[in-house]
Amino acid sequence: MKHAQNTRSLAEWRSSGAKGFTLIELMTTVMVSAILMAIATPYFRDFIQGQRAKTAAYDLVSALTYARSEAIKRNTGVTVAPATGGWQNGWSVSAGASVLTAHDGLSGLTVAGPTGNLVYNSSGRLSATVNPFSISATNSTATPQCVNVDLSGLPTSLTGSC
């Protein structure tokens, strides 16, 4: 008899203030989340690729600014040279025979830029005018980045094509 007195009907249990989710509510929530993730994933991939291109552009601007600063400080020429195979494989900043800094390659990115070394003279200006750098994500619709170096040798980074 005790067992029968301790059991409550479903209606009594729900009205007693018991909290929780039913299995159907949980499954519905999981399905809605899965649908939203399936829709957002391609856009998130392009966002990540765009951020990688933007970071690479800022890294290049930083290296160019550093080279310009070192040329003025050392009162000598400082060279920014692409790694073997092009700018997407990295670059180095050197003064004479000593390498001041080097940057690793940029996997998944395409970098189009000048075909040779960039040389900053002791006044911080480039020895010759250069074409802008275009940095874009490979196989992505993300917006490319443009790194331009003005006549004074100062680099700038802009979002969009060069």
- Classify residue 58: in a domain, yes or no: yes
pTM of the model: 0.75
- Classify residue 126: in a domain, yes or no: yes
Q: Look at residue 38 in the predicted model and tell me its pLDDT.
A: 86
| Domain containing residue 117 | 21-159
User: Number of folded domains in the chain?
Assistant: 1
pLDDT tier, 55 (very low <50, low <70, confident <90, very high otherwise)? very high
- Classify residue 14: in a domain, yes or no: no
CATH value at residue 122 = 3.55.40.10
- Classify residue 31: in a domain, yes or no: yes
- Classify residue 5: in a domain, yes or no: no
Q: Look at residue 126 in the predicted model and tell me its pLDDT.
A: 92
Question: Integer distance in angstroms from the first to the last C-alpha of the chain?
Answer: 85
- Classify residue 6: in a domain, yes or no: no
- Classify residue 102: in a domain, yes or no: yes
- Classify residue 50: in a domain, yes or no: yes
Q: Look at residue 20 in the predicted model and tell me its pLDDT.
A: 77
